Amino acid sequence: MQSHSDIQSILESFEQDLNPVTFTNGFKGATIIGYGEISSVLAFKDVPGLALKRMPLFVSKAEAEGYVVIYDSYCRLLEEAGLTLPESSTQIIEIPNRPVVMYLKQREFPMEKLAHHLIHHWSLDHIRTMFKRILIQIENVWEFSQKQSPGIRIALDAQLSNWIIDGDPSDGTIYYIDTSTPLFQINGQEQLNPELFLKSAMPGLRWIIRKFFLTDVINRYYDKRSVMIDLVANLYKEQYPQLIPMLLELVNNLPGLSDSPISQNEVKSYYQEDKRIWKIVQFSRRMHRWGVSNIKRGRYEFFLPGSIKR
């Protein structure tokens, strides 16, 4: 395993010569292996065994360090709630006249162990077992959050791509890997600055996203029913809607949902609205990149995914 200082040198060299707009896989041994709302995930040939989430979000080292404090607190809360998280740490990179970049270093798993891949390869019995175990993990977070004082609420994005099953469906270790968006509230006060979500959006469109979408998108992850609808609707994105009745049956037997069960029509309507929101967000990002690169002749800091099949 590379030392902290070795990884620092590798990342500083990478950032120094990086142009995110013209980046191609293989540049300085780096390959993009995933995208998040405010991050992109890279694997480096010279840093084996680690996935590195790149977050070019910060105007100063102090702001990045503030994020790290919130991130560490969020991870601690999730572990206290009973989730198993991969080993992780952070690394801050400063290049003159650039935004401060933070890398979240996390143990890398084979892609085939991600839950959204497993549903395409496992038997229905194994998938059902996996769903049951993931729902138990989510329920543990909500029970823990309800018992906390003073007024701690934990948000969770429970989509299938955020879960790793390392081993057999019935007794393999379940890891929750989406810790780079550390959303939690203390006495109703959001600890993470929501404006970070707007960094990659076109400035002229940020007020629209802020006014009409940002609060709704964040708040959904604090509401168990909304989290469950989002999880079930994820099966549309994963091109496997045939599994929706199975997962709905399991979800609707959870405490607090059996009296007002989620319907498949509700899930479909939610997915169509969510799809619309993210199309707008992605359009604003592409417009921002084009404007910065072609009109301002400046530097655009984010990796953007290509067309996303939904």
pLDDT in tens, 268-282: 999 999 888 888 888
Q: Per CATH, the architecture of 9-107 is what?
A: 2-Layer Sandwich (3.30)
Which helix (H) or strand (E) segment holds residue 174: the answer is strand 173-176
Binning pLDDT at 50, 70 and 90, where does residue 283 land?
Answer: confident
d(CA 76, CA 68): 12
pLDDT digits (tens, 9 = 90+) for 229-245: 999 999 999 999 999 99
Question: Has residue 155 got a pLDDT over 70?
Answer: yes
pLDDT digits (tens, 9 = 90+) for 78-108: 999 999 999 999 999 999 999 999 999 999 9
Question: Has residue 213 got a pLDDT over 80?
Answer: no
User: 150: cis peptide before it, omega within 30°?
Assistant: yes
Report the share of the chain in percent with pLDDT over 70: 98
Q: Are the CB atoms for 216 and 278 separated by under 8 Å? A: no
Structure confidence at residue 309 (pLDDT)? 63
Q: Are the CB atoms for 38 and 55 separated by under 8 Å? A: yes
d(CA 243, CA 248): 9
Question: Has residue 6 got a pLDDT over 90?
Answer: yes
The DSSP result for 182-203, as a single string, is --EEETTEESS-GGGGGTTS-H
Angle between helices 124-147 and 244-251 (to 10 degrees): 30
Burial group, residue 277, by CB count within 10 angstroms (0-12, 13-18, 19+): middle
Structure confidence at residue 307 (pLDDT)? 64
What mean pLDDT do residues 61-68 have?
96
DSSP 114: B
The domain ranges of the chain are 9-107
